[in-house]
Structure 1
Amino acid sequence: MKSTYLPLKYLLIFFLFFSCSDAEMTIAEEDNEEQSGDDPVNDDDSTDNAKILVFTKTSGFNHNTKEESVAMVNQIATDLSFDVEVSDNASIFDDQESVNNFDVIFFTNTSGNTLNSAQRNVVEAYAAQGGHFISNHAASDSYGHSTAGTVNGGGKGEWDWYAEHVTGCSVRNGPNHTANNFGATVTIQNENTDLTKMISFPWDDNEEWYYWEGGYLNSSFTELLRVSDTGDNSYDDARMTAHYWERPDGGISFYTSMGHSKNKYSDAEFVQLMKNAFEFILDR
């Protein structure tokens, strides 16, 4: 009996020892998994910033506001945490995949015929997959719409899609605007508080106000802001100075005719309007 008893005792001890070791290893492995960072909640915290392209090329009148507009966008980017790329070279639109990586394309005071046919196709394809546009002032002096009666030159009729989908308008010619720093009042035409928040209305502002009579306006756009009449001519009547379109392809296009002078891009109300536009789009 004694010779049988001792081996059984040692076998029992041996079994208990390794059972405990396996349990400790299992607990340690579970602890390591909890600390490994594989938790999907943590993954959601590591999203990339949105990317904005600021395009400034001109082949028509150059307002020389590139430096100021870029500084404004960089200020907004700091507040809203997005990344900015700036270019005045049309080759930025040569590669479809690269362009599709931008969340918003901002045509700021661009003018004239700036893109070739292949680059235009890239922009259209970008829009078709839900790409967003912001544009201002002279951007509506690019690619005059073929139906615009007083618009001539500058690529008129070469790319109607641009006026229809990006700016929603083509400014008339001869004359196409008031004098610079003309005082007028801006009022809200659409109660979109996302786009008009933190701006005091009525907004008394000085600007080179564009004319649309004899130009082109896309009725698919929603008029957001209107400037009061600026003279005695019919084209001086109260008119759109900011509008937007939530397009069927899922993208948003926003345009304002404001932004003629360098100092506009540090004006608190105008900067707030542009910040609202970026935020409205990027929150979608």
Structure 2
Amino acid sequence: MVPAGCARGSRPPPAPQMAPGSAPLRILVFTRTSGWRHDSIPDAIAALRGIAGELGMEVVATEDATAFSPASLAAYDAVVFASTTRDVLDEGQQAAFEAYVRDGGGYLGIHAAADTEYDWPWYGELVGAWFANHPEGLQATQVRFERPGVLVEGETWPVIDEIYNYRRNPRHRVQVIATVDETSYEGGTMGDDHPIAWCHRPGRGRAWYTGLGHTREMYADPRFRRHLARGLRFASGADAAC
């Protein structure tokens, strides 16, 4: 049986190669928190640096919100919110980021990026769905892909991670990439359709989100790293597919 989202005989697409002499795509990884702080953030940064390097991209990591100015953001092809929490940008920085995405910039959110900026409606639309709650502890479930590019033929992805319930099901607003199986754990509230990763195109920009990435171990999982690579390619504009 071929996994959902994988064509028979498919393989993850090769990393795009930069044209000789072209400038590498640049990624800003933002990890500021004002609520819960995940101890996996250093692992996320290290994984993103490694993946970006394999893709011919450069990563700059910061917790300094002053990076969200028009001049600074113009230097980046995508911005990653890696388990940010609660209020991380002031109104001027929010306005700069809105303009950046509106004018064609990319956004990638990881895990607690959905637990961020609840008083900023635009951000809620960008991330796709805000965090509502999660069951106690870690959950064991199966990730089911609806789009190709991560799992190879015959491969499955059982995960042990913290699985968020969201305030809404984002499906009718986004392209769902993957779902999880609530029947395999206790505490899910979204029913038979529980998206965990998705993408969409806000205006001229690009937005990609995954709810996975709570544990440090996830960032060493080759399937999660392939998943993040797809996100980086899409958010940076290197690949039209998410």
Range into which the TM-score falls when normalised by the shorter chain: 0.7 to 0.9
Correspondence for 1:125: 99
* SS at structure 2 position matched to 1:235: coil
Offset, 1:80: 0.5
Q: 2-side partners of 1:121 and 1:271: how far apart? A: 31
Larger Rg: 1
Correspondence for 2:212: 258
CA contact (8 A) 1:72 1:265 kept: yes
> How many residues end up aligned between the 2 structures?
217
**One-letter amino acid matched to 1:216:** R
Correspondence for 2:131: 171
The aligned runs of 1:117-266 (5 Å cut-off) are 117-144=91-118, 158-165=119-126, 167-172=127-132, 176-189=133-146, 192-194=147-149, 196-198=150-152, 201-212=155-166, 215-218=167-170, 219-230=172-183, 231=185, 235=189, 237-238=191-192, 239-247=194-202, 249-266=203-220
* SS at structure 1 position matched to 2:96: helix
User: TM-score, normalised on structure 1?
Assistant: 0.71
Stretches of structure 2 that go unaligned for 5 or more consecutive residues are 1-18
Bigger relative contact order (CA 8 A; separation at least 6): 2
Q: 2-side partners of 1:199 and 1:112: how far apart? A: 39
Q: 1:81 to 1:198 in 2, by over 3 A?
A: farther
1:68-123 deviation digits (Å, cap 9, x = unpaired): 01110111122101111100111111x20220221010000000101000000000
Q: 1:62 to 1:169 in 2, by over 3 A?
A: same
User: TM-score, normalised on structure 2?
Assistant: 0.83
Correspondence for 2:3: none
Of residues 67, 71, 75 in structure 2, which corresponds to 1:101?
75
CA contact (8 A) 1:107 1:135 kept: yes
| RMSD of equivalent CA atoms | 1.9
Which of the pair is proportionally richer in helix? 1
* SS at structure 2 position matched to 1:225: strand
Correspondence for 1:282: 238
Q: 1:141 to 1:45 in 2, by over 3 A?
A: same
Q: 1-side partners of 2:139 and 2:197: how far apart? A: 17
State the identity %: 25
